Amino acid sequence: MTKMKTDLSAALATGFHMNADKMQMKVCSWNEWDPLRHVIVGRATGCHIPPLEPALDGKVPEDSEMRGRPGLRPQNTIDRANELLDSFAELLRRRGIRVDRPTPIDFSQAVTTPDFSTGSMFGCMPARDILLTVGQEILEATMSYRCRWFEYLCYRPLLQSYWEQDPEFRHESAPKPRLNDADYRRDYLSDRITVQQRLQWTAEKHFVTTEEEPLFDAADILRCGRDLIVQHGFTTNLKGIEWLRRHFPDHRVHAVNFPGDPYPIHIDATFTPLRPGLIMNNPQRRLPDDQRELFSRNGWEIIDAAPPAHNEPPPLCYSSVWLSMNVLVLDPKTVCVEKSEVYQADQLDKLGMEVIEVEFRDAYAFGGGLHCATADVLRDGGCEDYFPKQG
Ligand code: GLY
């Protein structure tokens, strides 16, 4: 009994189930809403505020406390975020969902390649940023920040074990980018860019990353069966979208952009599908009319997300208050929402969903909300065509 308890604690501490290597497992997920069976939940351990670099210069607001404050995040905030991440993982396990956890590496290490060097890494809380699951494949994204170049290493123990266990699993990695200065626009390096200027640039699709080489973060991609909806913005360029198009020849890949967002990084606080035919859009970042046609032509309803409950993001946070809509759909009738986001919870409740409240706000600064912190391994269902009328 004591031995069994020890094994269980060790298994929970490492994030693996007992005898995980002997358990049957399968990688497969085609969309954001089918019943979730197996997921990765990130960790906050060792998370750093990286030094500024060209991509981050375009992201961290001029008045942010994070400017000039690189290094390990305060340990009490790391402990608190880990407590919330562990509780979230336990909540999912109690609902019968298998949960795995990444293995943090030493993020204080500099990232040096023949093309660049930067003072530290970031962390491994937002698994969604790195890993894109499309059917039986998990693809490691190129990423577009230098500090995130080696982040995939935190997921390699899991991906290797999936590869050993599931003979149909395809472990893929997109070409590692050079990330030299040619990848970033110099005009974003100024300290004096107004929000108005940023809004004009993003509306004109003048983003911080250039078209030097394919770049994408996995969190810019929404999976809707045969269709992949990809945000063109700071972290994903047109060549990255073209790379995805060639890599997934059986899919239709649609580039979208959202004027109104001064920092267009990752689609999941902007455009959130809830079930086939229903998607929430951030009302401050509306999808342009010409891009809405695909949805209306196929009977999809795009609704405004409810307003956030907070006026400010938590301290030392990269994300906006719109993490309110960064929800994790467990199945088309069940959704996890951050506990303090009462307006978002109320909207989803009125849409007929069971809302599971998850306390998570103190983890936001480590890389985002409930959707950001997770990556799908297995959902039920197959690759359906939700947009048969392509126009
Ligand atoms: N891009 C995530 C946010 O709105 O904060």
Cβ neighbours around 57 below 10 Å, total: 17
Instruction: Determine the pLDDT at residue 135.
Output: 98
Known catalytic membership, residue 217: yes
Please report which helix (H) or strand (E) contains residue 10, including its range. Answer: helix 2-14
Known catalytic membership, residue 336: no
- Of the pLDDT bands very low, low, confident and very high (cuts 50, 70, 90), residue 61 is low
- Of the pLDDT bands very low, low, confident and very high (cuts 50, 70, 90), residue 78 is very high
Q: Report d(CA 349, CA 327) in Å as an integer.
A: 13
Give how far Cα 244 sits from Cα of 30, 175, 228, Å: 15, 11, 9
Q: Report d(CA 305, CA 368) in Å as an integer.
A: 17
The residues, ordered by sequence, that sit 6+ positions from 323 with a Cβ below 8 Å of its Cβ are: 269, 308, 313, 338, 364, 368, 369, 372
Q: For the whole model, what pTM was predicted?
A: 0.93
Q: Which percentage of the chain shows pLDDT scores above 90?
A: 86
Rounded to the nearest angstrom, the gap between the alpha carbon of residue 223 and the centroid of all alpha carbons in its chain is: 12
Give how far Cα 158 sits from Cα of 17, 42, 74, 361, Å: 12, 12, 28, 27
Are 339 and 330 in contact by the 8 Å Cβ rule? The answer is: no
Nearest to 44 by CA among 374, 368, 366, 373: 366
Are 153 and 131 in contact by the 8 Å Cβ rule? The answer is: no
Least confident of 10-24, 222-236, 312-326: 10-24
Residues 331-362: b if buried by 16+ CB within 10 A, e if exposed: bbebbbbbeebeebbebbeeeebebbebebbe
Select from 270, 281, 324, 344 the residue to mutate for testing ligand 1; criterion: most ligand atoms less than 8 Å from CB.
270
Q: How large is the average pLDDT for residues 249-263?
A: 97
Q: Residues enclosing ligand 1, CB less than 6 A? A: 265-266, 269, 319-320, 322-323
Instruction: Determine the pLDDT at residue 273.
Output: 98
Q: Which of 183, 217, 220, 261 is catalytic?
A: 217
Tokens found for residue 110: 């500099």
Mean pLDDT estimate for the chain: 93
- Of the pLDDT bands very low, low, confident and very high (cuts 50, 70, 90), residue 317 is very high
Q: Which of 266, 317, 331, 336 is catalytic?
A: 266
Q: What is the pLDDT of residues 214-239, one digit of tens each?
A: 999 999 999 999 999 999 999 999 99
Q: Report d(CA 173, CA 315) in Å as an integer.
A: 33
Q: Report d(CA 295, CA 387) in Å as an integer.
A: 7
Report the sign of the C-alpha dihedral through residues 155, 158, 160, 162, in that order.
Answer: negative
Report the sign of the C-alpha dihedral through residues 170, 385, 253, 261, in that order.
Answer: negative
Q: Which atom of ligand 1 is nearest to the CA of 318?
A: 5
DSSP SS3 for 242: helix
Known catalytic membership, residue 17: no
Cβ neighbours around 11 below 10 Å, total: 14
Rounded to the nearest angstrom, the gap between the alpha carbon of residue 298 and the centroid of all alpha carbons in its chain is: 26
Q: What is the pLDDT of residues 298-315, one digit of tens each?
A: 999 999 999 999 999 999
| Protein residue whose Cα sits closest to atom 1 of ligand 1 | 265
Q: Is the pLDDT of residue 324 over 50?
A: yes
Q: Which atom of ligand 1 is nearest to the CA of 282?
A: 4
